[in-house]
Amino acid sequence: MSHLTIPKTYKLYIGGAFPRSESGRSYEVVSGKGAFLANAAKASRKDARDAVVAARAAVSGWSGATAYNRGQVLYRVAELLDGRRAQFVDEISSAEGVSASAAGAQVDEAVDTWVWYAGWCDKFAQVAGAGNPVAGPYFNLSVPEPTGVVATVAPQGAKGGSLLGIVRTIAPALVAGNTVVAIADEARPLSAISLGEVLATSDVPGGVVNILTGSPAEIAPWLASHADVNALDLTGAGGLDWVELEVSGADTLKRIVRPEPGIPDRALGRILGFVETKTVWHTKALI
């Protein structure tokens, strides 16, 4: 007996929920061979603003969690992603036109990336912070803190794996306690929204990660100029007019990571790009 195949509509991931675009727009996602795969929501300016609102509301809870707890949460994401490996292999091989073994290698690398950054959650502060020498009976401590809401653009097209690319932009920003609004690979967004499903069923609080699908050229300028976005990761925006995005971000004093070549995908610098340093003075007890 034959059955009717119902193509899945991949929605946005905002505030822990999966809404359609408020504009009602969607676009077709095709395979590496040009065959129809699914419909995906095409995010609008209003969707981007909603994602920033959700991310801002989640900052205090996520940054207020202990570093050890954040590490546990990110490790749990890796576990759940690995548990849905077959689904991601199918989506990646269909969308990118690669073999199942190549897709599997990408999923494995994405899992390893989550684990690598999870391990840094309760360690990076020891490397980035310091006890500074001062001339007086005081302690002077440099303490790293999250910058706040980080907007990211995942690598587009052939410049990075559709799953691995977005994981590499989201994971390092979460380590210090930032929240994220991420723009997925426009042509290959399916695994990014499936990653949202993993996050929604993990211990990551709603709003900590928000994923938008659609045109980065349309959405990114609104995030770059948004006064409530504190940092802008343009690592995957090399194909856009990223200089214009950088100028817009500078108008609101954002931390900006440029799409410069040679930046390792797993590096302490990827974490510290979204960290502010607070200096604390404290009087020494006099005995």
Mean pLDDT across 230-252? 91
Residue type, 54: A
Q: Residues 7-60: pLDDT tens digits?
A: 677 899 999 999 999 999 999 999 888 899 999 999 999 999 999 999 999 999
Number of domains, the chain = 1
Among 76, 177, 55, which residue's Cα sits nearest to residue 124? 177
Mean pLDDT across 187-203? 95
Cα dihedral 109, 167, 234, 22 in deg (nearest 10): 150
With 60 as the cut, is the pLDDT of residue 1 above it? no
pLDDT of 287: 56
Does the residue 1 lie in any domain?
Answer: no
Distance CA(81)–CA(118), nearest Å, equals 14
pLDDT of 235: 87
Q: Which domain covers residue 198, as residue numbers?
A: 9-283
pLDDT of 140: 78
pLDDT of 141: 78
Give the residue, 185 or 284, on which the prediction is more confident. 185
pLDDT of 279: 83
Distance CA(25)–CA(256), nearest Å, equals 30
Does the residue 267 lie in any domain?
Answer: yes
Task: Name the pLDDT band for 161 (thresholds 50, 70, 90).
Answer: confident
Burial class (CB in 10 A: 0-12, 13-18, 19+), 87: middle
pLDDT of 135: 81
Does the residue 4 lie in any domain?
Answer: no
The pair of three-digit structure tokens given for residue 248, joined into one six-digit string: 């817009």
Does the residue 253 lie in any domain?
Answer: yes
Does the residue 100 lie in any domain?
Answer: yes
Q: Residues 84-109: pLDDT tens digits?
A: 999 999 999 999 999 999 999 999 99
Q: What's this model's pTM, rounded to 2 decimal places?
A: 0.92
Q: Supply the DSSP string of the chain, one letter for each residue.
A: ------PPEE--BBTTB-PPPTT--EEEEE-TTS-EEEEEE---HHHHHHHHHHHHHHHHHHHHS-HHHHHHHHHHHHHHHHHTHHHHHHHHHHHH---HHHHHHHHHHHHHHHHHHHHHTTTHHHHH-EEE--SSSEEEEEEEEE-SEEEEE---GGGS-HHHHHHHHHHHHHHTT-EEEEEPPSSS-HHHHHHHHHHHTSSPPTTSEEEE-S-HHHHHHHHHH-TT--EEE-TT-TTS-HHHHHHHHHHTT-EEE---TT--SS-HHHHHTTEEEEEEEEEPPP-
Beta bridge partners of 181: 151, 210
pLDDT of 128: 81
Task: Name the pLDDT band for 212 (thresholds 50, 70, 90).
Answer: very high
Cα dihedral 133, 119, 193, 164 in deg (nearest 10): 90
Does the residue 2 lie in any domain?
Answer: no
pLDDT of 7: 67
Does the residue 228 lie in any domain?
Answer: yes
Mean pLDDT across 196-208? 96
Task: Name the pLDDT band for 74 (thresholds 50, 70, 90).
Answer: very high
The pair of three-digit structure tokens given for residue 206, joined into one six-digit string: 């709603």
Give the residue, 178 or 5, on which the prediction is more confident. 178
Distance CA(188)–CA(210), nearest Å, equals 17
The enclosing domain of 136 has a CATH number of: 3.40.605.10
pLDDT of 262: 59
Q: Residues 256-274: pLDDT tens digits?
A: 998 876 566 788 889 999 9
With 90 as the cut, is the pLDDT of residue 238 above it? no
Question: How high is the mean pLDDT of the chain?
Answer: 91
What share of the chain has pLDDT > 90, as a percent? 75
The pair of three-digit structure tokens given for residue 183, joined into one six-digit string: 């723009």
With 70 as the cut, is the pLDDT of residue 2 above it? no
